[in-house]
Amino acid sequence: MRENGIVGELRRFAVETRVAFANFVLRIPIQRLRNLSARTLMRWVVGRDVVIGRWTFVSDLGGIEIGDNTNIGYHSHLDGRGKIKIGSYVDMAPFVTIHSGDHDPNDPDHGTRYRPTTIGDRVWLCTGATVMSGAVLKDGVVLGAKAVAFGVLEENGIYAGNPAKLIKHRDPGGQKNLKPYRRYWI
């Protein structure tokens, strides 16, 4: 029994060390190196022409899938312990937080629960937006600055506030021909 405890501690230490190293690499001002470390060290599934901004922070390795032509703004926080799927042509401003784990308020021990979080294609997450565990942002959603998304957000809806409320809908055909977002020099 004691050996299992020591082995478990060593495994936890190894994972925590890799997470710390991954967060260090995500500070480096070389985009290709950040993408390479996301694919290899962090075991993310990363599409073509993805920009991962500097100072992006991860809580755990793996569990994150990013579609083509997506921009993750600097200082964003991605908690992939319960799986995060980000679609194509998604534009995340700086300081965006995406959770896939939270605490069950009905659990007497305040236990952690993990639920997949899904962000569709052509979604725009404004500065400081937060997407909570288990949320589904359908294609074309705009989540306003510092808004907090829970549950399912309608396709092409513009949301703001905490909790995020539907403000209006945007033109569904307005973003069909988006051009790739490329900033390889940072």
**Amino acid 65: pLDDT:** 97
**Amino acid 7: pLDDT:** 85
Which tens digits make up the pLDDT trace of 36-87?
Answer: 999 998 999 999 999 999 999 998 888 999 999 999 999 999 999 999 999 9
pLDDT of 175 above 80: no
What is the b/e burial string over 61-91, where b = at least 16 CB atoms within 10 angstroms of the residue's CB? bebbbbbebbbbbbbbebbbbbbbbbbbbbb
Q: Which H or E run contains 22? A: helix 2-25
- Could you give the residue numbers annotated as active site? 103
**Amino acid 1: pLDDT:** 44
135-142: average pLDDT: 96
pLDDT of 185 above 60: no
Q: What are the phi and psi torsion angles at 6 (to 5°)?
A: -70, -45
Which tens digits make up the pLDDT trace of 111-125?
Answer: 889 999 999 999 999
**Amino acid 69: pLDDT:** 93
Average pLDDT score over the chain: 90
Give the span between the Cα atoms of 182 and 32, in whole angstroms: 12
Give the span between the Cα atoms of 95 and 100, in whole angstroms: 17
Q: What is the pTM of this model?
A: 0.89
Give the span between the Cα atoms of 39 and 18, in whole angstroms: 14
Which domains are delineated in the chain?
2-169 (2.160.10.10)
**Amino acid 27: pLDDT:** 92
pLDDT of 160 above 80: yes
124-136: average pLDDT: 97
The better pLDDT of the pair 158, 181 is held by 158
Q: Which residues, in sequence order, are bridge partners of residue 78?
A: 58, 98
